[in-house]
Amino acid sequence: MTETGSERQHDRDQALRTREDLDRKIFYLRTLLDTSTELAGIVQPQKMLDTFLLMTMGPLGITTGLAGLVNVRLGSGHITSRGLEPADLETVRVNIPAIGLRYFTEAGTAENLTSRTRTIAREGLGVTRLFPSPVQTLFLWDLSGEYAGFLALGEKLTNRPLDDGDEELLLNLIQILKGAMNHALSVLNIQQLNAELLKKNQELEEAMGELNASREELDRRVFHLKTLSDLSSELSPLLDMDRLLRTFLMISMGALGVGQGFVIVQDRKARKVRSSAVGPVHEPVLDGHGCEQLIYQAFDACEIKSLAPGTVSRMGELSFLRQHGIEIDVELAFFFVIDASFMGVFALGPNILASLYSREEVELIVTQISSFMVYLQNARAFETIGALNEDLTRRNEELRQTIADLTEARHRITLLERARAHLRSLVQQEVERVGRPGLLDCALILLLATAIGVLFNLAAPQGIPLVPETLLRQRSATVNPQSAMRLAEEGVAVLVDARPKELYDQKHIRGAVNIPISLFDIMYMMKLSQVDSESPIVVYGRHVSRRYDEELAFRLKQRDHENVRILEGGLQAWEAEGYPVQ
């Protein structure tokens, strides 16, 4: 502030100036109060700058003013002006980063940034041209943190430069602005922090929601895994297909709270159909053809038509199931393929809550069916192994029987070979025996000849007695040669030679008559018919083979000759006595 005037006028004017000073001070103080009041309720920096600029230019009578708030770190800020061309305002707005760089960084100024306010006159601005030409005075200040501000003022209406009072007022106003701005920035920071806090809270809530969802998902997966574990532990020891179906059905229905269910599988290779049903339904009885038709329709109703092994496909159209006697209100049905020849259908009725099946439940069922298919395949493999074992056992039995038969046959062959060898030896012996005579043969021939001869002789009319009849007859009376000789000499007795004529011709007792047995009748008539029956007749003639004398004596007795005697010793005794022969 410049003081002018003479010393004389000093006293007179002293009072006036004092008064003016006081008025100005009052005015300034009022201005400061008003500004402070106006800025107290404002929190937005832009509005605060507007109000500050208005409250600054008005009391000082300045026509052109520019106020700004710069974020030094970001190079951005708020700016407001009065009485400045829009182009100039735009220029300043564009230059905000440069202003921050020029005046509020250590590199841009030799002075350290402090909390104090600096004043730069027009002449100090010429080099940068960051501010338009109307700007005569620039006030710079910094705030706490990264913010700083500036106030650029043009000339007063009075075209007088700013005096010390004006500058003090402005500095005080700037101080008020700084306080209000700090407050506002603090409020804004708090609001920003609050907003961030709210955002964080929101994010936290979202995270909690996600966490809860994850926990629910985890619980659901745990439940699924437990269900699958229970299913596995229940199904793993089962190898019987029917029990497997029944157990799977019960566990699946229990896990989902379903009262009705049905499962059927068809093994085309083994030509077997197996099914199980639970609930108030009649278990359908399907033959191979019916099941084939059911499987085909189920495949046709699938959402995904695939016959790849391990496929589980949900069926869309379910009404055809009733045509096959499946009297269930089927809500959910699946077609599954174990392999090209082993397929099945799994159907479930409504659950207890009568609600639709959730996606998770459908996934659980699909997983259960996938596990179930593994056990089905195992059971079928076991059945196949069982069948193979049975077949093997049967074949073993057949083999054992065959071996037994072969052993028996070998034994028989051995026996036959022995018999053959025995027969060969017999034949050999026989052949050898043929080559030599045998006593047995001779005996057999004799025996045969005897038997035939005897039988023939008995039957033939010309048969002869086996032994001579004379052997069986009573012996005739005999006479010794002496008596016979005497009787012959006396002419009492007749000597008869009974031998054949040939023997008689060879030698006979003198005077003896020859009567051969073979010619008895003729010779008797010729030679003895005249002999008295009481006359003694001495008969002789026998040898080792014949006893002619006995035979002849017998026949003579038959002709009533009572005194027939046989010569003792015969012709030999006669000769021995020396009696005459001829």
In the complex, the residues that contact another protein under the rule CB under 8 A are 423-424, 427-428, 430-431, 434-438, 441-442, 445-446, 448-450, 452-454, 456-457, 460, 462-468, 470-471, 500, 502-503, 505-506, 518, 542-547
For 129, how many CA atoms within 13 A lie in the half-sphere containing its CB?
A: 0
**What is the rounded distance in angstroms from the CA atom of residue 322 to the CA atom of residue 172?**
95
Q: Least distance (Å) from another protein to the CB of residue 467?
A: 5
Go through 402-432 and write b for each residue having 16 or more CB atoms within 10 A of its CB, e for each that does not.
eeeeeeeeeeeeeeeeeeeeeeeeeeeeeee
For 518, how many CA atoms within 13 A lie in the half-sphere containing its CB?
A: 5
**What is the rounded distance in angstroms from the CA atom of residue 196 to the CA atom of residue 202?**
9
For residues 87 and 431, which CB has a smaller minimum distance to another protein in the complex? 431
Name, in order, each residue with C-beta under 8 angstroms of 36's C-beta and a sequence gap of 6 or more: 176, 180
Contact (CB, 8 A) for 541 and 499: yes
For residues 401 and 428, which CB has a smaller minimum distance to another protein in the complex? 428
For residues 127 and 460, which CB has a smaller minimum distance to another protein in the complex? 460
The 8-class DSSP code of residue 68 comes to E
For residues 248 and 540, which CB has a smaller minimum distance to another protein in the complex? 540
**What is the rounded distance in angstroms from the CA atom of residue 225 to the CA atom of residue 231?**
9
Question: Tokens for 31?
Answer: 């201005």
| Identity at 153, one-letter amino acid code | L
Question: Tokens for 421?
Answer: 């060898």
**What is the rounded distance in angstroms from the CA atom of residue 118 to the CA atom of residue 125?**
13
For residues 127 and 466, which CB has a smaller minimum distance to another protein in the complex? 466
Q: Least distance (Å) from another protein to the CB of residue 403?
A: 30
Comparing CA positions, the residue from 402, 374, 339, 381 lying closest to residue 389 is: 381
For residues 135 and 523, which CB has a smaller minimum distance to another protein in the complex? 523
Comparing CA positions, the residue from 552, 576, 385, 382 lying closest to residue 470 is: 552
**What is the rounded distance in angstroms from the CA atom of residue 483 to the CA atom of residue 488?**
8
For residues 225 and 427, which CB has a smaller minimum distance to another protein in the complex? 427
Q: Which helix (H) or strand (E) holds 344?
A: strand 342-348
Q: Least distance (Å) from another protein to the CB of residue 573?
A: 17
Q: Least distance (Å) from another protein to the CB of residue 461?
A: 11
Name, in order, each residue with C-beta under 8 angstroms of 486's C-beta and a sequence gap of 6 or more: none
For residues 309 and 438, which CB has a smaller minimum distance to another protein in the complex? 438
Q: Across-strand partners of 278? A: 261
For residues 193 and 442, which CB has a smaller minimum distance to another protein in the complex? 442
For residues 359 and 436, which CB has a smaller minimum distance to another protein in the complex? 436
**What is the rounded distance in angstroms from the CA atom of residue 131 to the CA atom of residue 124?**
11
Q: Least distance (Å) from another protein to the CB of residue 489?
A: 30
Q: Least distance (Å) from another protein to the CB of residue 267?
A: 60
For residues 191 and 428, which CB has a smaller minimum distance to another protein in the complex? 428
**What is the rounded distance in angstroms from the CA atom of residue 527 to the CA atom of residue 541?**
17
For residues 254 and 438, which CB has a smaller minimum distance to another protein in the complex? 438
Q: Least distance (Å) from another protein to the CB of residue 532?
A: 31
Q: Least distance (Å) from another protein to the CB of residue 514?
A: 14
Contact (CB, 8 A) for 581 and 484: no
Q: Least distance (Å) from another protein to the CB of residue 515?
A: 16
For residues 446 and 576, which CB has a smaller minimum distance to another protein in the complex? 446
**What is the rounded distance in angstroms from the CA atom of residue 178 to the CA atom of residue 275?**
89
Would you list the DSSP string of 372-428?
HHHHHHHHHHHHHHHHHHHHHHHHHHHHHHHHHHHHHHHHHHHHHHHHHHHHHHHHH
Pairing between β-strand 494-497 and β-strand 537-540 as defined by DSSP bridges: parallel
**What is the rounded distance in angstroms from the CA atom of residue 213 to the CA atom of residue 358?**
16
Q: Least distance (Å) from another protein to the CB of residue 517?
A: 9
Q: Least distance (Å) from another protein to the CB of residue 417?
A: 13
For residues 288 and 438, which CB has a smaller minimum distance to another protein in the complex? 438
Q: Least distance (Å) from another protein to the CB of residue 270?
A: 56
Q: Least distance (Å) from another protein to the CB of residue 545?
A: 4
The sign of the CA dihedral 562, 563, 569, 574 is negative
Q: Least distance (Å) from another protein to the CB of residue 437?
A: 4
